[in-house]
């Protein structure tokens, strides 16, 4: 947690980002009281400021929002409406000064969802050029994995063009040994999560990096890859693995084996993005369902759920420093309906700089990295969505046939096909016998 007073930074925007893999639970995933997750400023305000301050922007991302067969069919409206109403009611109920919020934008693709809110008396009245986008990284670009994004512009107080904000919620490939797939997922997201051109003189769509501020978060699924020679290589197989992770020095040692840290240092993923000290809290995955502090011994506990960010004034050559102040970055252990714990991050942006009326400040990237839009991005996205719908409808039918269980549905379907085949065979045989007897 940063040690500063918000009293001296009222002109700097406060951003709150929350992310949670709900384990396909739909409306059952969250308790009605979301204060631990969505109102962290109540917990930290006494450390930051004499007067409590509500975030200017609240971004909430979900992964595995609802059962997969419903997500694939696109049947997510009722669930996302429920989540939106609950989130809005909770952030307003727990806002330190009874602030009101408005939904700026929301976007869902299968089970990956993003909702972004703004203060009614501030950002929500100023935003413009609101855009949403989605892409799938599953098999044949299906949406069981992928990303969704929201971008908007906030005009400058001086009448200038202002700054753009881009929020991306992602769910990358799972399993410890699928690192290469996660790296490929990120590359595909950069190439296919495309927004309109940032310049009226350009016809080329813009990538997620063509923005003043970028926030990339979600269940990124990067795991710890601990060498077998290391003394902690098998700690996760112990029933008291959570106790091992109680020690911050141990977590700091283990974070050096975090795949995201290792690959980012190599320049293979999340180029130019920064992150807070994630090892300050315990690994967010994989917990036993119903347990506050017990891990599943079949998986290596890992920091799969992350929040990364950067701003246009950050140097492309120093990832250890950012002009964005990370005030709070933690997980919320009390949520037990998923094998993940939700994470939350509170960020204080740098003061907006006066800009020429026609120039949007954008993120600076290393000279060795140039994100390129995929010319086939639209085709790939809709191939994936078409497969989503076909497979989702078939799956949904099997779930209905199995009274809520797809496995029972498959059994009933096979049994029904077998019975129908037998009945046709029996009928044809007996009709033939009856015809011969009558002659």
Phi, psi of 309 (to 5 degrees): -165, 165
Contact 220, 305 (CB under 8 A): yes
Q: Report, as ranges of residue numbers, the positions in the chain whose pLDDT lies below 70.
A: 1-8, 26-29, 31-33, 40-51, 354-357, 399-439
The per-residue pLDDT for 414 is: 46
pTM of this prediction? 0.89
Tell me the H-state helices in 51-178.
68-73, 77-93, 123-126
| pLDDT per position as a tens digit, 358-375 | 788 999 999 999 999 999
| pLDDT per position as a tens digit, 32-48 | 667 778 875 544 444 44
Count CA atoms closer than 13 A to 254's CA, side-chain side: 27
Write the CB contacts of 374 (distance below 8 Å, at least 6 apart in sequence).
Answer: 188, 191, 192, 194, 380
Laid out side by side, the sheet with 101-109 consists of 101-109, 112-119, 57-63, 14-21, 343-348, 325-331
**Average of per-residue pLDDT values in the chain:** 86
The per-residue pLDDT for 408 is: 43
- Residue range 6-376, CATH number: 3.60.10.10
Instruction: Name the nearest CA neighbour of 41 among 1, 88, 11, 100.
Output: 1
């Amino acid at each position: 947690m940063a040690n500063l007073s918000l009293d001296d930074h009222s002109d700097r925007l406060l951003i709150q980002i929350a992310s949670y893999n709900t384990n396909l639970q739909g409306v059952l995933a969250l308790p009605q009281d979301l204060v631990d997750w969505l109102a962290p400023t109540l917990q930290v305000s006494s450390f930051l400021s004499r007067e409590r301050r509500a975030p200017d922007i609240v971004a909430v991302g979900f992964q595995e929002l609802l059962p997969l067969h419903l997500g694939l069919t696109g049947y997510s409206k009722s669930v996302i409406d429920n989540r939106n109403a609950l989130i809005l009611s909770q952030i307003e109920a727990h806002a330190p000064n009874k602030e009101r919020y408005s939904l700026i934008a929301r976007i869902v693709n299968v089970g990956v969802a993003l909702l972004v809110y703004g203060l009614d008396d501030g950002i929500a009245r100023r935003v413009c050029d609101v855009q949403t986008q989605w892409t799938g990284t599953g098999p044949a670009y299906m949406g069981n994995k992928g990303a969704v994004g929201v971008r908007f512009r906030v005009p400058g107080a001086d009448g200038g063009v202002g700054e753009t904000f881009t929020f991306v919620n992602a769910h990358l490939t799972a399993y410890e040994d699928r690192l290469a797939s996660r790296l490929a997922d990120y590359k595909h997201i950069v190439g296919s999560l495309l927004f309109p051109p940032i310049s009226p003189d350009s016809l080329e769509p813009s990538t997620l990096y063509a923005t003043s501020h970028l926030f990339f978060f979600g269940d990124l699924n990067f795991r710890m890859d601990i060498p077998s020679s290391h003394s902690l290589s098998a700690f996760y197989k112990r029933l008291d693995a959570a106790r091992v992770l109680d020690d911050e020095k141990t977590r700091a040692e283990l974070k050096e084996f975090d795949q995201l840290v290792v690959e980012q240092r190599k320049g293979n993923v999340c180029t130019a993005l920064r992150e807070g000290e994630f090892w300050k809290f315990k690994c967010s995955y994989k917990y036993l369902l119903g347990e506050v502090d017990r891990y599943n011994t079949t998986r290596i506990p890992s920091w799969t759920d992350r929040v990364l960010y950067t701003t246009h004034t950050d140097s492309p050559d120093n990832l250890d420093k950012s002009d964005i102040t990370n005030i709070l970055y933690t997980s919320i252990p009390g949520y037990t309906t998923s094998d993940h714990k939700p994470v939350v991050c509170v960020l204080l942006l740098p003061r907006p700089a006066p800009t020429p009326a026609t120039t949007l400040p954008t993120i600076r990237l290393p000279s060795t990295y140039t994100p390129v839009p995929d010319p086939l991005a639209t085709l790939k996205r809709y191939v994936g969505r078409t497969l989503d719908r076909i497979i989702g409808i078939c799956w949904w039918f099997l779930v209905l046939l199995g009274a809520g269980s797809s496995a029972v549905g498959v059994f009933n379907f096979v049994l029904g096909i077998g019975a129908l085949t037998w009945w046709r065979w029996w009928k044809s045989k007996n009709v033939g016998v009856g015809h011969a007897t009558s002659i």
